[in-house]
Amino acid sequence: MPLLVVGSVAIDNVETPQARRDNLLGGSATHFSYAASFFTEVQLVGVVGEDWPPEHTALFQSRGIDTSGLEVMAGGKTFRWTGRYEPNMNDRETLDIQLNVFGRFNPVLSEHYRRAPYVFLANGVPALQLKVLDQVPGCRLAVADTMELWIQTAHDDLKTLFQRIDGLVINDSEAKMLADTDNLVLAGHRVRAMGPKFVVIKKGEHGAMFFSEYETYVMPAFPTENVIDPTGAGDSFAGAMMGYLAENDNFEPETLKTAMAYGILVASFNVEGFGLERMQQTTRDDIEDRMTAYRKMLSF
C-alpha cells in the first residue's frame, strides 16, 4: 500500500572523529523514503531549491519513490545542515543550519496523495504536521516524529497532534523531556497517555522500545562495530517500520513488532556509511539475512 511521508529534504555536511563528508543527500524524508522503499511504494512530499542536483531525484525514482510531491521552489536554496559527531557517535553538535526553502514549506497534497492509507509526518513544525493531517482524513495509520525544539516552543500544537495521530516515534531524550522523567519505561507510558495509540522510543545504539495499551517491550539494536555516520538512523528506522506495515497493510500487534525489528535492522545498515552510501549497497536480501541473524540472537 502507498506510504506518504512529509518532511525535510536536505544537503548535509557531516563531520565525525574519523572523517568529513560534504554535500550528502540528507533530510528526514530522504532517509525515511529510502528505507521504506525496500518494502513499499513511497510518496515523498518535500521542498528543495534551485540548487537541487537532479541526480538526487533520479536516485529516489530509481527506488520507485514517487517524487511528484517534491517541490522545486524557484529562487530558493535547499535546506542545508552541517553537524559534527562526538567520539561516542551519539551526541552531535549542529555547526550550521540554513533552512532556506524548508522555512517556507507549506505542503499542499495532490488529490492522489490525499488518499494515501499510510502517512508519516517526519519531524517538523507541529502546526504544519496538523495541516497535513487535515488533508488525509481517510488515512488508515498516521504516525509522527517530533523534536525537542517543538516540545519547548510548540507544546500546545504538539498536544493537539498527539490526540490525532495513531503512533508517535521519538528518541529517548525527547521522551524524557515530554514525560518529565529519566525512566524511559515510565516516559513511554506517560507519553502514550497524551494521546497516541502507540509510542516508539528510539534509543540509538541501545535499540527501541514499544508502548501500547496492552504491550510494553524493548528490542536491542543490531550490534555493529562499523558506525560511520549515525545521521538519519532514526528516520530510516521509522521508514522501514512504516514501510513494512504498509507492505503488509496491517498494524496488528504482531506486525508492529516485526516492523520494529525491520526498523532496527535497516537503521543498522544506515549508520554503516555516510548519508545513504551504505543503504545504496544494501538489498532486501541483505536485510533478510540480518533479520535471520537478529531472530537467532534473540532466541534462546
- The residues binding a second copy (CB under 8 A) are 87-89, 182-186, 189, 203, 205-207, 209, 216-221, 223-225, 227, 254, 257-258, 260-261, 295, 297-300
Shortest distance in whole angstroms from residue 238 CB to a second copy: 18
Residue placing its CB nearer to a second copy in the complex, 102 or 294: 294
Q: Provide, rounded to whole angstroms, the least separation between the CB of residue 204 and a second copy.
A: 10
Is the Cβ of residue 41 or residue 229 nearer to a second copy in the bound state? 229
Q: How far is the CB of 245 from a second copy (least distance, A)?
A: 14
Q: Which is nearer to a second copy, 50 or 289 (CB)?
A: 289
If the CB atoms of residues 65 and 209 are measured against a second copy, the closer one turns out to be 209
For the bound state, the minimum distance from the C-beta of residue 272 to a second copy, rounded and expressed in Å, comes to: 12
Q: In this structure, what C-alpha cell is assigned to residue 40?
A: 513499499
Q: How far is the CB of 300 from a second copy (least distance, A)?
A: 4
- Of 14 and 45, nearer to a second copy (C-beta) is 14
